[in-house]
Amino acid sequence: MANVDRTRGLRPVKYQSGAAWNGQVNEYVVYSGEVSGLWIGDLAVLDGTADTLGRPGVEQLVNAVSGPTIGVVVGFAANPNNLNIGGSFRNSNATTDNRIVYIVDDPNVIFEIQADSAMDFADVGYYADITVSIAGSTTTGLSGMELDASSVIAASTSTDRLLLLIQASTMGDNEVSNDSGKWLVKINPRKHQGVGAGIL
């Protein structure tokens, strides 16, 4: 049976310990002029800036498929330093406004993501990248990022890839041997900016 094509980037589901994700996030900021914008489910990358309250600036991961990344976007809010904003809080219309960005930056969180084509159960424990430069949906505000099935590589070369494949998602309609299969993944610690920078 064909899988439902439900592209939405990465969605936090639980911690590596097995505990359910508890909704914890940290605040970042995306600035006007960040032309790629950000979408819920996108991987974000630190851009080397911060606002007057000390929140680090971020942008969408687009330039380097293999990372690094600080984590996954799960929401937005108005920036109190720039309240004259418009548009949907489901994404950042970053060419015209600044936004607070809520990011899951805990390196122990496991996410669900859809693969762009068929994979194999034997890929568990391997590493892979994501597809980038795909716009999110202006209807749902959700990311266009998917797991890049063609990038899967053995664990011995894990430094070259962004995500660790934990297991196939256990949702009832999931068949990873068909297109649009769903996987549970974790950010490769070597590619996580919080770990490498000593932030977390």
pLDDT tens track, the chain, 200 positions: 576 667 889 999 999 999 999 999 999 988 876 666 788 999 999 989 888 888 899 988 876 567 799 999 998 886 655 544 444 455 665 556 678 889 999 999 999 999 888 888 888 889 999 987 667 887 888 899 999 989 888 876 666 789 999 987 776 676 666 666 788 999 999 899 986 444 54
- Residue 157 token pair: 């070369």
Question: For 83, what's the count of Cα atoms within 13 Å in the CB-facing half-sphere?
Answer: 1
**Rounded CA separation 52/64 (Å):** 28
Ordered DSSP codes for 47-90? EEEE-TT-PEEEEES-S-TT--B-EEEEEEEEBTTB----S-TT
Q: What is the DSSP letter of 75?
A: E
Is-contact 192 107, C-beta < 8 A?
yes
Look up the pTM and report it. 0.86
For residues 73 and 101, the answer to whether their CB atoms sit within 8 Å is yes
